[in-house]
Structures are given as structure tokens and as C-alpha cells.
């Protein structure tokens, strides 16, 4: 008989980031995966349920009794909480609390899905306070103060998804020349990191496979840092369609319809009377300020070592996926919820 399968609980497994992680673990054959989700009947949950060694557990992520039951008999876990659903304050609380429950349940390896700690990188300049980045960043800071002997911990620190070039970041036809595709962002000439979701799943699996090395590690991943002007050139080279990059101000960005109501509070699953919740304008102004500042850096040498076959450029991703700039669906959860509440058409 072979070695018993490693039992893994994935929290956030039906989301854009969690799905490739579950798929990588399932394809390996050495892991038995449980995905905790609110609805076992959702399309992503049903797709994952069809994979080998994957079980869907229906329940509320942000409930202690549910979590205590879910972590019974679990060897390792990948945790990706949704700050767009619950807001920064609750994400900090639940990130820490989920760690504590996993620790008490005897889990051997805890992987936290994180993002750049925006305001900390800028020495807590309030102009850089981005809730959906900083909530995860604060939990990362908490983890780095924890022991690594009783339960190994690892942080997978991602970046904006390359895949959202088919959604939130996709090009749009110029109003005066529909044949010209325009990539718009308040980014200036700064290169920002983007990560391809398939490779994100592979990095997470590497952490599960190499616990001794990934224990206590914060691995910052990216496909490449790319300037938007180069993004437009790559798009033209791959598709043959004319395209340009148009640098815009933050006011122009929000006026362009990036969000139907920039004053709406981030946190679609909670009441909006919480004064700590940011508006989309506040959140995404800080988001773009971070990338424009150039403060976020990545070590591509270690990424090449860990994942030699990784996609190394956005252009390579475009070729591999047959990218055309046409609409797609990546960040389905929070966009669909906001669309239902505001009448906002799905971006993509």
C-alpha cells in the first residue's frame, strides 16, 4: 500500500485564486482535498467536485463551529479569505482566528494567501491605505511572529492577476476609432507585477510539496513587472490589433466607469454602517498609488528556481491562451454581487 493521502482544507477554493490551487493538488494524486464553501451547488463548486480526491463541504467560512469541524483530521490548509466580501477589519480578525483554530486542531502546515501590504511599504502613508491589500498584509505580519515548530506556516504573496486583462484590466475600443484598443490605467510609466493564475496554483502546490523549505517563507510571486505601454505593444504583436496605453489620472479612471458607484463601500456581505469600510474610490486610489510608486519588488531568481517552467512574460501568456482582449470572467464573486446590488453591468 502507498502512503496515505495528505488531507488539505482549502478555504476560498471556489474563487479565482483557490480554483487553480485545488486543481493542482487534485492532479498530483497525493492529496485529499476538502473545499469549504457557502454553496455546494455553485458552478465552481460543482466543477471542483468532479475532480479526483476533491470533496465539497458546504458551510460558512466565518463561523468558529464550522471551522472547528472542518479542520478535524486535516494535515494542511490553504486559506484565502475574501476582503471584498467582509472588509479589512473582519479579514484581519478572521485571518488570525482561522490560524488559531487550525493550530489548535493539530494542522501541520498553514498557507496564507496574501497581497502586498500597501500602507506599510509606504511607511503607513494614509494615501497608500488599501483595505483589500492591507487586511491580508496585517495577517501576514501576525504570521511572521508565530513559531514554526508546532505548525509550519507559509505565505504565498500574489499580485494582480494577468487573467484580469480579460476583465477589470481589459482594453477597450477608442470612442473615436473603434479599431484602436486602449489600455488605460493611472500608472504613469511604472512597471507593475502581474501573476498568471495557473502558475499561482503551481507555486502553492510547491509549498505543500516542500514544507521544510517553505516553512516560515513569504514567497512573493509574479509573472513579470510590466509597463502598460509595453503591454499595449505586446498585445499588438500577438493579436495584430492596433493598441495604445493611455495614462489617466485617478479622477479620470473613476469617471470612466471602472466602478458604477465609486462611493459604494467595499464589503458586499456586511452592513455598510461600519466606519472602517473604505469606498471603492478610497480603496482603489491607494491600490494604484502603490503600483505607480514602484515600492513593490519581486525576486524573479527564486521564482525561476522554484518553477523553471513558469510563464515568464505577459506576452507569453497572451500567446499561450490565445488572448484577444475579449471579455472573460475571473473575479466573479464580488463583481456579480455588486452588479446585483447596483445594476452595474459585469466588467467583462
- What pLDDT, on the 0 to 100 scale, is given for residue 273? 85
Q: How many angstroms from the chain centroid is the CA of residue 150?
A: 28
| pLDDT tens profile 88-115 | 999 999 999 999 999 999 999 999 999 9
pTM for the whole thing?
A: 0.93
Residue 52 burial (CB count, 10 A): 11
**pLDDT at 345 > cutoff 90:** no
Q: What are phi and psi of 29, to 5 degrees?
A: 90, -10
Higher pLDDT, 341 or 5: 5
Q: Rounded to whole angstroms, how far apart are CA atoms 69 and 93?
A: 19
Query: How does residue 329 score in pLDDT terms, banded at 50, 70 and 90?
Result: low
* Domains of the chain, earliest start first: 6-159+195-220 (3.40.50.720), 162-192+224-296+313-342 (3.90.25.10)
How far are the Cα atoms of 131, 274, 339 from residue 148, in angstroms, in the given order?
Answer: 28, 35, 42
Grid coordinates representing 333 are: 464573486
Query: According to the model, what pLDDT value does residue 257 have?
Result: 85
Render the burial of 198-234: b for 16+ CB within 10 Å, e for the rest. bbbbbbbbbbbeebeebbebebbbbbbbbebbbbbeb
What does the block give as the cell for 156? 504565498
123 has a pLDDT exceeding 70? yes
For residues 115 and 289, the answer to whether their CB atoms sit within 8 Å is no
Burial of 122 (0-12, 13-18, 19+ CB in 10 A): middle
| pLDDT tens track for 126-151 | 999 999 999 999 999 999 999 999 99
Query: Tens of pLDDT along 181-225?
Result: 999 999 999 999 999 999 999 999 999 999 999 999 999 999 999
Mean pLDDT of 67-77: 98
pLDDT digits (tens, 9 = 90+) for 225-234: 999 999 999 9
From the CB of residue 293, how many other CB atoms can be counted at a distance below 10 Å?
A: 17
The residue among 341, 329, 335 whose CA lies nearest residue 44 is 329
Joined grid coordinates for residue 238: 500577438
Cell of residue 48, nine digits? 471542483
Closest CA to 296 of 140, 158, 127: 158
Q: Lowest mean pLDDT: which of 67-76, 189-198, 334-343?
A: 334-343
Strand partners, 33: 8, 54
Amino acid at each position: 500500500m502507498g502512503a496515505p493521502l495528505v488531507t488539505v482544507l482549502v478555504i476560498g477554493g471556489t474563487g479565482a485564486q483557490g480554483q487553480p490551487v485545488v486543481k493542482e493538488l487534485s492532479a498530483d494524486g497525493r492529496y485529499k482535498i476538502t473545499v469549504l464553501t457557502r454553496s455546494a451547488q455553485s458552478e465552481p463548486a460543482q466543477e471542483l467536485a468532479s475532480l479526483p480526491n476533491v470533496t465539497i463541504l458546504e458551510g460558512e467560512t466565518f463561523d468558529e463551529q464550522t471551522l472547528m469541524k472542518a479542520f478535524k483530521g486535516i494535515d494542511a490548509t490553504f486559506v484565502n479569505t475574501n476582503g471584498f466580501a467582509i472588509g479589512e477589519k473582519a479579514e484581519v480578525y478572521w485571518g488570525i482566528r482561522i490560524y488559531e483554530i487550525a493550530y489548535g486542531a493539530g494542522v501541520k502546515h498553514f498557507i496564507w494567501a496574501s497581497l502586498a501590504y500597501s500602507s506599510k511599504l509606504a511607511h503607513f502613508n494614509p494615501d497608500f491605505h488599501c483595505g483589500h491589500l492591507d487586511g491580508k498584509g496585517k495577517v501576514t505580519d501576525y504570521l511572521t511572529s508565530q513559531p514554526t515548530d508546532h505548525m509550519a506556516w507559509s505565505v504565498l504573496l500574489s499580485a494582480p492577476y494577468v487573467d484580469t486583462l480579460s476583465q477589470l484590466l481589459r482594453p477597450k475600443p477608442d470612442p473615436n476609432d473603434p479599431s484602436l484598443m486602449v489600455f488605460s490605467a493611472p500608472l504613469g510609466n511604472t512597471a507593475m507585477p502581474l501573476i498568471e493564475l495557473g502558475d499561482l496554483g503551481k507555486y502553492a502546490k510547491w509549498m505543500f510539496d516542500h514544507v521544510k523549505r517553505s516553512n516560515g517563507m513569504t514567497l512573493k510571486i509574479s509573472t513579470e513587472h510590466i509597463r502598460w505601454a509595453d503591454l499595449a505593444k505586446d498585445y499588438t504583436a500577438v493579436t495584430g490589433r492596433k493598441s495604445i496605453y493611455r495614462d489617466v489620472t485617478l479622477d479620470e479612471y473613476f469617471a470612466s466607469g471602472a466602478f458604477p458607484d465609486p462611493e459604494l463601500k467595499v464589503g458586499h456581505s456586511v452592513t455598510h454602517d461600519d466606519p472602517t469600510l473604505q469606498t471603492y474610490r478610497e480603496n482603489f486610489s491607494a491600490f494604484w498609488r502603490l503600483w505607480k510608486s514602484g515600492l513593490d519588488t519581486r525576486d524573479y531568481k527564486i521564482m525561476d528556481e522554484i518553477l523553471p517552467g513558469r510563464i515568464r512574460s505577459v506576452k507569453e501568456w497572451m500567446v499561450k491562451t490565445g488572448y484577444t482582449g475579449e471579455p472573460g470572467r475571473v473575479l466573479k464573486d464580488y463583481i456579480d454581487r455588486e452588479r446585483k446590488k447596483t445594476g452595474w453591468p459585469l466588467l467583462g
